[in-house]
Amino acid sequence: MAGPSHGYDLHQRCASELGHVWHLSQSQAYAILKRLENNGDISTHIVEQDKLPAKQMLRITAAGRRRFLDWLESEVGVNARSIRLEFLTRLYFANLYKPEKTHHIYEAQCAEIEASLGRLESLLANLPSEQIFNRLSLDLRLRQMSLIRDWMAEIQPRRPNETRIDIQPPARFFPDGLLRSGSFDAGAGFRYQNYICLPAPHADGFRGGLAHRRFHGDGQRL
């Protein structure tokens, strides 16, 4: 999206910024790029270099750009694997190339999670008590989904008129509630420089007796 790139550089960037999301070998990355080229999503051209082998540079095509933007807003599953792989990947690319869509993608995923929780609660409520193992399975899924919902609340992006993901950490990071400034590792691969910790309103109000805080500052990738 940002301009011509070399396959090796793309793989290195993926390993650096998404290495704990996607475990992608260099050969797998090249195979994916070849498939994208065959599908017409990227084009290639050769760049000659003095005293070095020629480089094959890649560029996204108009058709590839349209498919990328459609994919960016396509539906994601609500299981833990889908959230970790698909949702985080979409959030990553939206934050890079379409930051105005970040909040919409986040809100749509939250709505899907809430709907899934409602379906699971209804299934469990209507399941006969003698179906012990079915009830255990649904209970586990409910607990997993509740944890995902709590995690989503902690990574709430900024509003559409802002350009970077804003991490809203839980109160456990600063239990004394004092104003702070400096450098803070917010998790999810972000470090906040020159931030100020301020009390912030939250739908849940207080959790564990401590208010949520919002961090304002310059969010940067670690």
Q: What is d(CA 179, CA 35) in angstroms, rounded to the nearest whole number?
A: 51
Mean pLDDT of the chain: 77
Residues 60, 105 share a domain: no
Asked if the model's pLDDT at residue 179 lies above 70, the reply is no
Confidence band, pLDDT 50/70/90 cuts, at residue 158: low
Is there a domain that residue 163 lies in? no
Confidence band, pLDDT 50/70/90 cuts, at residue 53: confident
Choosing from 68, 84, 107, the residue where a domain stops is 68
Confidence band, pLDDT 50/70/90 cuts, at residue 221: very low
Q: What is d(CA 54, CA 162) in angstroms, rounded to the nearest whole number?
A: 41
Residues 177, 209 share a domain: yes
User: How many Cβ atoms are within 10 Å of 215's Cβ, its own excluded?
Assistant: 21
Choosing from 154, 186, 206, the residue where a domain stops is 154
CATH code, domain carrying 12: 1.10.10.10
Structural domain count, the chain: 3
Residue 117 belongs to what domain range?
73-154
| Contact indicator for 29, 10 with CB cutoff of 8 Å | yes
Residues 141, 78 share a domain: yes
SS (H, E, C) 130-180: CCHHHHHHHHHHHHHHHHHHHHHHHCCCCCCCCCCCCCCCCHHHCCCCCCC
Residue recorded with tokens 């050969």: 27
Q: What is d(CA 75, CA 148) in angstroms, rounded to the nearest whole number?
A: 17
Is there a domain that residue 161 lies in? no
Is there a domain that residue 18 lies in? yes
pLDDT at position 129:
93
Residues 145, 82 share a domain: yes
Choosing from 68, 83, 115, the residue where a domain stops is 68
For residue 178, give the nearest of 204, 151, 213, 218 by alpha carbon.
Answer: 213
Residues 78, 58 share a domain: no
| Contact indicator for 109, 76 with CB cutoff of 8 Å | yes
**Which tens digits make up the pLDDT trace of 183-202?**
444 444 444 443 333 333 33
Q: Is the dihedral of CA 57, 89, 187, 19 positive or negative?
A: negative
pTM higher than 0.75: no
